[in-house]
Amino acid sequence: MPSILPRRYRWASSLVLAICLIPAVAQAVPDLYIAQKGTSSVAILDTGDNNTEVASIPVQSNPTAVAVAPLGSPIFVANTAGNSVSVLNSKNQLTATIPVGNQPDAIAITPGGVAAYVANAGGGDLTEISVAGAFAVQTIAVGSDPDALAVTSDTSLIFVANRASNSVSVVSTPLAATLTTIPVGKSPDAVAISPRGFTVYVANAGSNTVSVIDRPTRTVKNTITVGQQPTGLALSPDGTTLYVTNSGSGTVSLVDTATDTVTGTLNIGGQPEGLSLSPDGSYLYVVEPNQNVVLVIDTATQTIVSTLGPFSDPTSTGSFVGPGDLIAIGTAVPLNIQNTPSQDNLGCSDALGRARHFELIVPPKDGNVSISPTSGIFTYIPNVNFSGEDAFAFRCVAAAGGPSPISNTATVSLLVTFEGNNAGGSTAMGPLGLAVLALAALLAIPRRRSTRPIRPT
């Protein structure tokens, strides 16, 4: 456990950035939030206007992490040396300061925007915060020096990387308790969860590897060798590509999640650490702390297209993507169905009342699903004699084709019960299934549509 300040003050500094869509206008643009340790402030850039800086908001000492609630407000900033979380609104105003644990070093908000969880590196615990009330609710014990965390799309679990104990704590949000601890590599420093929610990736800075955790069994199923000192992770919206920043080798590794192999390496120099993807996955924002800048990488061409900054000693604990005004609705608990064809409606809210079109993003692994693009009615057919957990992910857009607001990617979890061969029809989801729908995270707005093939993870 660090004696004065956590690892980020013993290593090179990095960047916190969050992309959010402010839903005040019909076609809003995402904002980039950059926490600056040197000035104890948060710089806000308008990425739709040549990355113009629109505000710089003072917060408390040494801000190290930013997370954005599902409707773009509030924005939470973890202040490591201040033992606090600053709360900003969509008007770029500081509205509250919340005392938390010792040396808060990472923060994540549940997909529904109900709670935020802060990893307190100096205390070995999490602080749960009520998003609506902006106050601390309770403390949950985890491992030593928790340095990163991620919440599953169904909001039921939090995976916490414990840097000093070389482990990942699996925390139940309903129970507010650690269920189990998973050994991983040395000095785990970042966490990412696949869109279907069945795979968890952990960057091990001290082992130069990424651990691949199977969520159902809560065991490490694979280990991927990447560059030196991996400290940041980001997944493409379809979950097919994992981006890994390697601060020790000045590179970004591209991992094919279908095979868990490195398929490419981007040499960008310096000590890249924090990273974040634009909502549609077209651009990767990577901090290069030696020059106090953020590099913008075109993911299609894998080239640096812009350099943002300079900033004042920017810091980072991971990638944070905020939302738009289209909200796709997934399931909070798996929908129970028989292993026969089943139908139900997908949900998508839209405050502006626009027409919505539904798109399949990640197909199910153990069956097939078809979605009506206009009504959102889906039909799921499990594979013959299959029973167990399955899932698929979808999103909705305001209009078919062309630039228009795109929602988050929401996951629909399924629990298939074996009831004979897949012959008859069954509609066992119905209203009960819809009653347990919960908001999913990672809302988005298009900049460029991705045309990459989609493989489930």
For residues 426 and 383, state if they share a domain: yes
* 98 pLDDT above the threshold of 90: yes
For residues 369 and 389, state if they share a domain: yes
| Res 262: pLDDT | 98
CB proximity list for 244: less than 8 A, separation 6 or greater: 203, 210, 226, 227, 230, 232, 233, 252, 253, 254, 255
End-to-end alpha carbon distance in the chain: 34
| Res 313: pLDDT | 74
For residues 236 and 309, state if they share a domain: yes
Nearest to residue 299, comparing CAs of 258, 358, 238, 227? 238
* 112 pLDDT above the threshold of 80: no
For residues 314 and 341, state if they share a domain: no
Of 278, 295, 321, which residue constitutes the final position of a domain? 321
| Res 343: pLDDT | 83
What is the number of domains present in the chain? 2
Range name among 342-346, 353-357, 389-393 with the lowest pLDDT average: 353-357
* 273 pLDDT above the threshold of 50: yes
Instruction: Decide if 445 is inside a domain.
Output: no
pLDDT in tens, 415-431: 888 654 444 333 333 33
| Res 104: pLDDT | 96
Q: Higher confidence at residue 87 or residue 390?
A: 87
User: Mean pLDDT score of the chain, rounded to an integer?
Assistant: 79
| Res 324: pLDDT | 41
* 32 pLDDT above the threshold of 90: no
| Res 330: pLDDT | 72
Instruction: Decide if 454 is inside a domain.
Output: no
Average pLDDT over residues 90-95: 87
For residues 263 and 172, state if they share a domain: yes
Range name among 82-91, 199-208, 209-218, 328-337 with the lowest pLDDT average: 328-337
| Res 357: pLDDT | 84
Q: Higher confidence at residue 403 or residue 443?
A: 403
For residues 361 and 392, state if they share a domain: yes
Instruction: Decide if 444 is inside a domain.
Output: no
For residues 298 and 330, state if they share a domain: no
| Res 84: pLDDT | 97
Of 321, 352, 371, which residue constitutes the final position of a domain? 321
For residues 186 and 204, state if they share a domain: yes
| Res 428: pLDDT | 35
Q: Higher confidence at residue 15 or residue 281?
A: 281
CATH at 76: 2.130.10.10
Average pLDDT over residues 267-289: 85
* % the chain with pLDDT above 90: 42
Instruction: Decide if 426 is inside a domain.
Output: yes
* % the chain with pLDDT above 70: 76
Average pLDDT over residues 267-276: 88
Identify the sign of the CA torsion 216, 219, 224, 226.
positive
CATH at 340: 2.60.40.60
Instruction: Decide if 383 is inside a domain.
Output: yes
Q: Find the domain containing 374 and state its range.
A: 326-439
* 163 pLDDT above the threshold of 50: yes
Instruction: Decide if 203 is inside a domain.
Output: yes
For residues 192 and 339, state if they share a domain: no
**288 token code pair:** 């290069």
Instruction: Decide if 452 is inside a domain.
Output: no
pLDDT in tens, 398-413: 765 544 566 777 888 8
Q: Higher confidence at residue 268 or residue 52?
A: 268
pLDDT in tens, 41-69: 988 877 766 777 778 899 999 998 998 87
For residues 278 and 422, state if they share a domain: no
Instruction: Decide if 183 is inside a domain.
Output: yes
For residues 95 and 192, state if they share a domain: yes
For residues 187 and 287, state if they share a domain: yes
pTM: 0.73
Of 321, 348, 383, which residue constitutes the final position of a domain? 321
103 phi-psi bin (left φ>0, alpha ψ -120 to 50, beta other): left
Question: Rounded to whole angstroms, how far apart are CA atoms 184 and 164?
Answer: 11
